[in-house]
Homo-oligomer: A and B are copies of this chain.
Amino acid sequence: MHAIGVDIGGTKIAVGVVDEAGRILAKVRRDTAADDVASIDRAIADACTELAREHEVGAIGLAAAGFVSPDRSSVLFAPNIAWREYPLAQRVGDLLDVDVPVVVENDANAAGWAEFRFGAAHDATDMIMLTVGTGLGGAVVVDRELVRGKWGVAAEVGHMRVVPGGHYCGCGHEGCWEQYASGSALVRDARQAAVANPDAARRLVELAGGDREDIQGPHVTQAAQEGDPLAIELLATLGRWIGEGAASVAALLDPELFVIGGGVGAAGDLLLLPVRKAYEAQLSALGHRPVAQIELAKHGNEAGIVGAADLARR
């Protein structure tokens, strides 16, 4: 059965028809306004209706950045869109021509599910996805099932505390993992390094156009690929935090595979080798247990569409 997946961003939506092998057969985009939730409903319904004219679809999955109710019908809270206990599935369903089930999924869960079904984890039964972007998102698959939690808010891995008294997080707490293992952390660390040691940061500042406050993640990746020692160290530090945190997750869930997604994947082995090294160094009972694989995600930005569509038809 084909299904439609919708990736709902703050200012635009991406909608695709996904086949049973996880391929996107057709795709459309719409711009939206984050503070006008009714217009988002309409944009989703329009796009789905358009695609459903050309393709027979059996289900629609909506990937939303926010807390999703465990029955997959509502968004309880979203940081960037004005949804509060919002019955998104029904609102969209009411606007559709076609009569197919509509479900809502957390976007990180959808992306993780795409990797589990059709990507880096397609051979696995127990997987943790870590999406290292602006923040640190995640998805948990246990025994082939997505773990949503009692109230739908599982897999918020970025808010596990890794440093008591550590960096403040937007959530109001100190030391959240995403303050150490995210693209934002990488950028923050790079800018701070340029304060603490301007000489070492010369290449990074140059790539940023001369102002250390303009350093971005890709500058670090580029400099590291050129062999810049500070940039290599910054990626290694990021990798170390990812790997050490992953070892804590493994203590709890014993997965066979971690999948690392997000833009930092562009750094390739400059990131991945430090992740693996730190994971192994920090894993309890090394030698008495197998060591989980750690791989980069196969899907890029379209993982949300693919995962939402596939979850909808289950």
Q: Does A255 contact B (CB under 8 A)?
A: yes
Contacts of A143 in B (CB 8 A): 145, 147
Q: Mark A175-203, 1 if CB is under 8 A from B, else 0.
A: 11000100000001000111111110000
- A residues 104-140 near B (Cβ < 8 Å) are 125-126, 138, 140
In the bound complex, residues from chain B placing their C-beta under 8 Å from that of A158 are: 251
Instruction: Determine whether the beta carbon of A165 is less than 8 Å from that of B166.
Output: yes
Contact partners of A67 in chain B: CB under 8 A: 285, 288-289
Which of A138, A143, A176, A285 has the most chain B CB atoms closer than 10 A to its own CB?
Answer: A285
User: Is the pair B289, A148 in contact by a Cβ cutoff of 8 Å?
Assistant: no
Of the candidates B173, B194, B254, B286, the one whose C-beta lies within 8 Å of that of A150 is B254
- The size class of the interface chain A forms with chain B is 35 or more
Q: Determine whether the beta carbon of B254 is less than 8 Å from that of A154.
A: yes
* Chain B residues within an 8 Å CB radius of A292: 150
Q: Does A281 contact B (CB under 8 A)?
A: yes
Q: A143-B145, A255-B149 are in contact. Are A287 and B199 (CB under 8 A)?
A: yes
A196 touches B247 (CB 8 A): no
A151-B290, A172-B197 known; A157+B252 contact, CB < 8 A:
yes
Q: Write the A187-221 contact mask toward B (1 if CB under 8 angstroms, else 0).
A: 01000111111110000000000000000000000
Q: How many copies does the complex hold?
A: 4
For the complex, is A156 an interface residue (Cβ under 8 Å from B)?
yes
Inter-chain contacts of A164 with B (CB < 8 A): 162-165, 244
**Interface presence of A266 (CB below 8 A):** no
Q: Please give the distance in Å from A84's CB to the nearest CB on chain B.
A: 9
Contact between B197 and A161 (Cβ–Cβ < 8 Å)? no
Residue of B nearest to A175 (CB): B165
Among A150, A166, A174, A199, chain B packs the most CB atoms within 10 A around the CB of: A150
Task: Select from chain B the residue with minimum beta-carbon distance to A152.
Answer: B254
Q: Is A159 part of the contact surface with B, judged by Cβ < 8 Å?
A: yes
- Give the nearest-CB partner of A154 in chain B: B254
Q: Which of A143, A172, A188 has the most CB of B within 10 A?
A: A172
Question: Closest residue to A255 on the B side, CB-wise?
Answer: B150
Alpha-carbon separation in the docked complex, A76 to B176 (Å): 34
Q: Nearest Cβ in chain B — how far from A96, in angstroms?
A: 29
CB distance from A291 to the nearest CB of B (A): 10
21 residue pairs from A and B, CB less than 8 Å apart: A142-B147, A147-B253, A149-B254, A150-B292, A151-B254, A152-B254, A156-B251, A156-B285, A160-B251, A160-B252, A167-B174, A168-B188, A171-B195, A171-B285, A172-B197, A173-B196, A196-B284, A197-B286, A198-B287, A252-B252, A252-B253
